[in-house]
Amino acid sequence: SDSVNGVVKPRILLMGLRRSGKSSIQKVVFHKMSPSETLFLESTNKICREDVSSSSFVSFQIWDFPGQIDFFDPTFDYEMIFRGTGALIFVIDSQDDYVEALSRLHLTVTRAYKVNPDISFEVFIHKVDGLSDDHKIEKQRDIHKRTNTDLTDAGLEQIHLSFYLTSIYDHSIFEAFSKVVQKLIPQLPTLENLLNIFISNSGIEKAFLFDVGSKIYIATDSSPVDMQTYELCCDMIDVVIDISCIYGMPNTEAGLPHDKDSMAIIHLNNTTVIYLKEVTKFLAMVCFLRKESFARKGLIDYNFHCFKKAIQEVFDVRVKVQQSRKLLNQR
């Protein structure tokens, strides 16, 4: 199914030259494969791989270039696909020569924009783990400059591309994916607002709303994100999922080892507590707080209960709007 609580899942298209790292990104982010295992991923001849994973908040498709993708092929309905796409991620292998990749990027972006000007275009400058910091900045600047020159030459300077430096060997790929997904969530300002209210009333330092299946955070409060905090949250989710898989009761409905009442608490030895609670089937809140604040767990749980109700309302309102639109269309 393509919806969560009746809300259509954000749809993402992952494109790029063959061997740029698309399958690896999919396996690492959505299927918990360890980065070094991707070395043994077999190169596939399928040009289009649909991800049918039902355990995540997002859905996406992978396309290879070059392949049989021919924008002039009348049997290939790229228009329909671009119309239903929220974000187009183009992966560029930064350890390889990228001249061909850039020309493919340009062709794809200009085609897609003509069909659907609302797509957000995201460029992953990928495999940067082998590069020094200076080198990374240099590559990003060069790629940025070249793509913008191409767009300006084509009279399409209004198209906006966002760039990310990514690698599957650290958390940069999760961070980049989080930003991409957040742009596709219309309720984001409301979610952020609710998180702000929740943390300030509960003595919490930082709270993330996570898509548990992918470790993408779909929202956080407005205090700045510190990479280390984010990494700790990801590690906590891994621990919780691993323990649930081993000792948990299989939830037959969704095949997930956790359910809407799951929760976990980890006390770190520096007086920090990490507190995880499920919000919906896919989403969990992970909070960072000091030991003193955790003493008032009752208050936190009460506030969390209110937060959860508010979240359900946010999504319910949307469902109702969608339903009444459908009714109107039927008349």
Residue in 79, 111, 144, 169 binding ligand GDP, rule: CB under 6 A: 169
Number of residues this chain uses to bind ligand GDP (CB under 6 A): 19
Give how far the C-alpha of residue 86 lies from the chain's centroid of Cα atoms, to the nearest Å.
12
Residue in 9, 104, 106, 126 binding ligand GDP, rule: CB under 6 A: 126
Shortest distance, position 170 Cβ to ligand GDP, whole Å: 9
**Structural tokens at position 72:** 């002039």
Q: How many whole angstroms separate alpha carbon 177 and alpha carbon 92?
A: 15
Give, rounded to a whole angstrom, the gap between the first and last alpha carbons of the chain. Answer: 26
Q: Check binding of 167 to ligand GDP (CB under 6 A).
A: yes
Residue with tokens 């290879």: 64
Site string for ligand GDP, 12-31 (x = CB under 6 A): ----x-xxxxxxx-------
Pairing of strands 161-165, 206-211: unpaired
Shortest distance, position 155 Cβ to ligand GDP, whole Å: 31
Query: Which of the ranges 38-46, 108-116, 232-240, 257-265 carries the binding residues for ligand GDP, by CB under 6 A?
Result: 38-46
- Residues with Cβ within 8 Å of residue 89, at least 6 apart in sequence: 12, 13, 14, 15, 122, 123, 124, 180
Q: Check binding of 61 to ligand GDP (CB under 6 A).
A: no
Shorter beta-carbon distance to ligand GDP: residue 4 or 87: 87
Q: Check binding of 168 to ligand GDP (CB under 6 A).
A: yes
Q: Check binding of 303 to ligand GDP (CB under 6 A).
A: no
Task: Provide the angle, in degrees to the nearest 10, between the axes of the packed helices 172-183 and 227-247.
Answer: 90
Q: How many whole angstroms separate alpha carbon 205 and alpha carbon 203?
A: 7
Q: Check binding of 172 to ligand GDP (CB under 6 A).
A: no
**Where on the chain is the footprint of ligand GDP (CB under 6 A)?**
16, 18-24, 38-39, 41, 43, 126-127, 129-130, 167-169
